Structure 1
Amino acid sequence: MEHTRFARFGMVCTVDHLASTAGLSMLDQGGSAADAAIAANAVLAVTAPHACGLGGDLFALVHEGGGAPQALNASGRSGSGADPGRLRAEGHDRMPFQRDIRSVPVPGCADGWMALHARYGRLPLAELFAPAIRYADEGFPASPLLAPAAAVLPGVDAALAPGDLIRRPGVARTLETLAADGRDGFYLGEFGKGLLALGRDGAAGGSGEGEYTEADLERVNADWVEPLRARAFGHDVWTIPPNSQGYLLLLALAIADRLDLPRDPSDPLWAHLLAEAARAAGHDRPDVLFEGASVDGVLASAAERRATIDPSRRARLRDLTSSGDTTYLCAVDSEGMGVSLIQSNAAGFGSMLFEPATGINLHNRGIGFSLVPGHPAEYGPGRRPPHTLAPALVTRPDGSLRAVLGTMGGDSQPQILLQVVARLLASGESPGQAIGAPRWRVGPGLTGFDAWSEPDEASLDVEQGAGWTEGLQERGHPVRGLPYGGAFGYAHLIDVRPDGVLAGAADPRALISSAAGR
Structure 2
Amino acid sequence: MSGRAGTGADRGPVHALNASGRAGSGADAGRLRAEGHRRMPHRLDVRSVPVPGCVDGWLALHARYGRLPLADVFAPAVRLARDGFPASPLLAPMAREIADRPDAGDLAEIRAAGDRVRRPGVARALEAVAEGGRAGFYLGEFGEGLLELGSGEYTRADLERDNADWVEPLRVRAFGHDVWSAPPNSQGYLLLLSLGILDGLELPPSTAHAAWAHALARSARAAAHDRDALLHEHATGLLSPAEIERRRALTGRGDLKVPAADGDTTYLCAVDGDGLAVSLIQSNASGFGSFLFEPRTGINLHNRGIGFSLEPGHPAEYGPGRRPPHTLTPALITRPDGSLRSVAGTMGGDAQPQILLQIITRLLRYGQSPGEAIAAPRWRFGSGTGFDTWRRAEGAVVELEDGTGWRDGLAALGHRVSAVPGGAFGHAHLIDVLPDGMLAGATDPRALTGAAIGR
3-state SS of paired residue (1:198): helix
Give the corresponding residue for 1:230: 172
Match of residue 121, structure 1, among 66, 75, 81: 66
Give the corresponding residue for 1:395: 334
Separation (CA, whole Å) in 2 of partners of 1:393 and 1:354: 34
Residue identity matched to 1:350: G
Superposed displacement of residue 97, structure 1: 1.3
Separation (CA, whole Å) in 1 of partners of 2:241 and 2:138: 37
Residue identity matched to 1:259: L
Residue identity matched to 2:224: G
Separation (CA, whole Å) in 1 of partners of 2:409 and 2:450: 32
**Deviation digits for residues 46-93 of structure 1, max 9, x if unmatched?**
xxxxxxxxxxxxxx3343642531100000000000000000001111
3-state SS of paired residue (1:78): coil
State yes or no: 1:133 paired with 2:59: no
Match of residue 103, structure 1, among 48, 52, 58: 48
State yes or no: 1:461 paired with 2:399: yes
State yes or no: 1:143 paired with 2:93: no
Superposed displacement of residue 159, structure 1: 3.6
Separation (CA, whole Å) in 2 of partners of 1:114 and 1:71: 14
Match of residue 84, structure 1, among 20, 29, 47: 29
CA contact (8 A) 1:407 1:490 kept: yes
Superposed displacement of residue 148, structure 1: 2.0
Give the corresponding residue for 2:271: 332
Match of residue 406, structure 1, among 337, 345, 354: 345
Residue identity matched to 1:509: R
Separation (CA, whole Å) in 2 of partners of 1:146 and 1:112: 25
Separation (CA, whole Å) in 2 of partners of 1:253 and 1:410: 19
CA contact (8 A) 2:221 2:251 kept: no
Residue identity matched to 2:414: G
Q: Which runs of 5 or more residues in structure 2 are unaligned?
A: 99-103, 258-262
Superposed displacement of residue 211, structure 1: 0.3
Give the corresponding residue for 1:48: none
Q: Return closer, same or farther for 1:274/1:456 CA change in 2, 3 Å cut-off.
A: farther
Match of residue 384, structure 1, among 323, 328, 349: 323
Separation (CA, whole Å) in 2 of partners of 1:99 and 1:346: 14
Residue identity matched to 1:146: L
Give the corresponding residue for 1:68: 13
CA contact (8 A) 1:149 1:159 kept: no
Superposed displacement of residue 160, structure 1: 2.0
3-state SS of paired residue (2:408): helix
Superposed displacement of residue 306, structure 1: 1.3
Structure 1 segments, 4+ long, off by >6 Å, are none
Separation (CA, whole Å) in 2 of partners of 1:221 and 1:391: 18
Superposed displacement of residue 448, structure 1: 3.1
Give the corresponding residue for 2:101: none
3-state SS of paired residue (1:495): strand
Give the corresponding residue for 2:57: 112
State yes or no: 1:277 paired with 2:219: yes
Residue identity matched to 1:315: G
Query: How many pairs align?
Result: 436
TM (norm. structure 1) is 0.82
Match of residue 261, structure 1, among 203, 210, 235: 203
State yes or no: 1:345 paired with 2:290: no
Superposed displacement of residue 412, structure 1: 0.3
Match of residue 482, structure 1, among 396, 406, 420: 420
Superposed displacement of residue 264, structure 1: 1.2
State yes or no: 1:441 paired with 2:441: no
Residue identity matched to 2:401: E
Separation (CA, whole Å) in 1 of partners of 2:404 and 2:144: 50
Superposed displacement of residue 433, structure 1: 0.7
Separation (CA, whole Å) in 2 of partners of 1:190 and 1:114: 18
Match of residue 365, structure 1, among 298, 304, 308: 304
Superposition RMSD in Å: 1.7
CA contact (8 A) 1:326 1:344 kept: yes
Matches within 5 A, 1:121-200: 121-150=66-95, 152=98, 153-200=104-151
CA contact (8 A) 1:507 1:513 kept: no
**Deviation digits for residues 376-407 of structure 1, max 9, x if unmatched?**
10000000001101100000000000000001
Give the corresponding residue for 1:504: 441
Q: Which runs of 5 or more residues in structure 1 are unaligned?
A: 1-59, 201-209, 319-323
CA contact (8 A) 1:141 1:164 kept: yes
Separation (CA, whole Å) in 2 of partners of 1:466 and 1:228: 31
Residue identity matched to 1:72: L
CA contact (8 A) 1:439 1:462 kept: yes
Residue identity matched to 2:293: F
3-state SS of paired residue (1:243): coil
Q: Return closer, same or farther for 1:268/1:513 CA change in 2, 3 Å cut-off.
A: farther
Separation (CA, whole Å) in 2 of partners of 1:299 and 1:100: 42
Q: Which has the higher contact order (CA 8 A, sep 6+)?
A: 1
Residue identity matched to 1:278: A
Give the corresponding residue for 1:21: none
CA contact (8 A) 1:63 1:70 kept: no
Separation (CA, whole Å) in 1 of partners of 2:436 and 2:450: 26
Give the corresponding residue for 1:428: 367
Superposed displacement of residue 455, structure 1: 6.5
Superposed displacement of residue 480, structure 1: 1.3
CA contact (8 A) 1:465 1:484 kept: no
Match of residue 290, structure 1, among 222, 232, 244: 232
